[in-house]
A and B are shown apart, each in its own frame.
Chain A
Amino acid sequence: MANAAEFLQEDLADGGQILCLSGSFTIALIGDIDGRLRDLSADVRKIDLSAVEHMDTVGAWLVHRTAKASGAEIMGAGKDASRLLQAVSGADQTDIPPRPHPPSFERFLAEVGHSVVISFTTLLQFLGFVGQVVKASFILAMNPGRFRWHAVVQHFDMVGVRALGIIGLMSFLIGIVIAQQGAVQLRQFGAEVFTINLIGRLTFRELGILMTAIMVAGRSGSAFAAQIGTMKITEEIDAMRTIGVVPAEALVVPRVIAAVMMMPLLGIFASLMSVIGGGLLCWIVLEIPPATFVQRLREVTPMTDFWIGMIKAPVFGAIIAMAGCFQGMQVHGNAEQVGLKTTAAVVQAIFLVIVLDAFFAIFFSEIGWN
């Protein structure tokens, strides 16, 4: 087989040295030759290639670089070797400019400034996006014929029906956890029966809707961002625009409507599953029979709790869908962006949902819906 690349230094009569190269100067066999040639300190006048068995561009590059650095003359190059040397030598005419690398403090400042600008422009763009969606909704309301029922129904399925399993299971378990923790704590005061208050009020008023919103943001908000982002990359959205289809009408409005309609239904479902989970635990641990549980639940849970949940749910749905679609539309360039924007959609949606939930909590308390 081929021998590894090797070289010898020999002294020339007139001072200086000649490098005698031997073996295969190919990428697989150059080994540590690169470092050794780089470290050469001798005054190389000539490079003899006559003993080189085989050469590829990497070998040719090393020879060329050494020759250029020391001003040595290359001799004994065969036809193939000369051709390769000539080919790689052209790269000298062009210089790759070094990558700009400003000092870290400067970069830090630039990054901070950049993110501030980005935050503000994103906010403005989001407002613009909301405006577009509202406008598109009005146009569709005026021309119901253009409304894409098919897409809406499809998204009902994706956002609502297919989420039932996971949301039901999650809510059921959360109901159990609330009941169990409530029972343990309230037992210290001999007030286990108030566990039912806790379950009823907490699930309908807060947790049922909030947990559903978080789950929908994770399931559907991310899916919206990824779908629209991918369509952006494959130029499908540009194609729509050129055909005259408004992306806000075709893509965003159906998704927002689906989320707005599905969130209350999923919220009711989630609350019910929580109540069932809590009731089951009350039955088993506190020995409160289901009939008593339901009766007591109806006494202690005011109807306003249910309405609070039902008012919040569509708002959360709209926010989740808008955040998902908005981030999807923000995708530019490459596949990594789809991932980044999908994450951003979920984080943004959950953040906004929790902020608004706090706002709602204070608002409803103030108007006396305690």
Chain B
Amino acid sequence: MDQPNIISVQGLCNSFGEQVIHQDLNLEVRRGEILGVVGGSGTGKSVLMRSIIGLQEPVAGKIRVFDEGMIGKEEDEASDVRRRWGVLFQGGALFSTLTVAENVQVPLREFYPDFSKALLDEIAHYKIYLSGLPADAAHKFPSELSGGMRKRAGLARALAMDPELLFLDEPTAGLDPIGAANFDNLTRDLKETLGLTVFLITHDLDTLYAICDRVAVLADQKVIAVGAIEELLAIDHPWINEYFSGPRGRAARRGHDKHNNNPQPELHQPGRS
């Protein structure tokens, strides 16, 4: 039952009109890992994620999530798969007319209409806590939250169903460095506590070094390399070299090495960030 690959993408092709985004793209995401997806702007990272979660119909290719084919599934189909994943969109994509707690409860109400109001409130409460939001954020509306809090609220909603698979689209974009580092820790803690598999799109080199088990590099309309960062550094490809060995890449690496040489006492307390 435990297939090693949670997501498998084979021969994926995507194009918008004349513009080809993906050409024969292959990718596999293993159970229990945090896979970082990187690539220049416009290389189709988000399109790849949207294809996997079924928001974008690819031109060709096979996508299997939890060993179930996802191509051509309507919105009301494959709900067994849908309840096993959670998605955090870039801006949080919270429902603006609902409070944070109500946002978290939306998927629960959808899939488990029998849950009592008290239980829903309790679940929303601890999910909000797990995502590192203060408790009084529960009754706030998304427009009353800062960008970072909105992301955390979006994460709380993505975690509502206790998913096995979590999609994060640029979770640290637009956060201050402290907030971004906290979010990284939160992601890693949640992954370890809840046993998540995480598909993480990011531009943030620090995130890659800090929490990703493997990194997939998108360029030339396909995944040109997948592996741990050390393996990627050994690959001779102009974009990869520039990405990891550019000034920002070097800075992130130095920061990471320094951090590893002076290990901090591990404090894996989700929500305490």
Residue numbers of A with Cβ under 8 A of B are 26-28, 32, 34-35, 38, 56-58, 61, 65, 80, 83-84, 87-88, 90-91, 94-97, 99, 333-336
Contact = CB atoms under 8 A, between A and B. Distances in A.
B129 interface: yes
30 contacts: A27-B162, A28-B83, A34-B116, A34-B119, A56-B194, A57-B126, A57-B162, A58-B162, A61-B122, A84-B193, A84-B194, A87-B270, A88-B129, A88-B130, A90-B129, A90-B270, A91-B271, A96-B101, A96-B121, A96-B125, A96-B135, A96-B139, A97-B136, A333-B96, A333-B143, A334-B96, A334-B97, A334-B143, A335-B96, A336-B97
B135 A58 contact: no
Contacts of A35: 116
Given A61-B123, A94-B134, A336-B96, 8 more contacts: A61-B126, A83-B193, A90-B129, A90-B270, A96-B101, A97-B135, A334-B96, A334-B142
Interface string B59-84: 00000000000000000000000010
A35 B122 CA distance: 13
Nearest to A80: B195
Interface in B97-145: 97, 101, 112, 114-116, 118-119, 121-123, 125-130, 134-136, 138-139, 141-143
B161 interface: yes
B1 to A, nearest CB: 9
The list of the 6 closest CB pairs from A to B, nearest first, reads: A334-B96, A94-B135, A91-B126, A91-B129, A56-B162, A333-B143
Interface in B142-179: 142-143, 159, 161-162
Contacts of B114: 32
A97 B136 CA distance: 6
B269 interface: yes
Given A90-B269, A96-B125, A57 B194 contact: yes
A95 B130 contact: no
A94 to B, nearest CB: 4
A58 B83 CA distance: 14
A99 B127 CA distance: 18
A28 B115 CA distance: 11
Nearest to B83: A28
A57 B130 contact: yes
A90 B271 contact: yes
A87 B193 contact: yes
Interface of B: 83, 96-97, 101, 112, 114-116, 118-119, 121-123, 125-130, 134-136, 138-139, 141-143, 159, 161-162, 192-195, 269-272
B79 to A, nearest CB: 12
A334 B95 CA distance: 9
A217 B130 CA distance: 49
Contacts of B101: 96
Contacts of B135: 94-97
A315 B26 CA distance: 64
Nearest to B112: A27
A163 to B, nearest CB: 32
B112 to A, nearest CB: 7
Nearest to A99: B139
Nearest to B119: A34
A27 B160 CA distance: 10
Contacts of A97: 135-136, 139
Give the one of B97, B112, B119, B143 with max A CB within 10 A. B119
Contacts of A95: 135
Contacts of B142: 334
B199 to A, nearest CB: 19
Contacts of B121: 96
A91 B128 CA distance: 8
Contacts of A94: 129, 134-135
Contacts of B118: 38
B136 A96 contact: yes
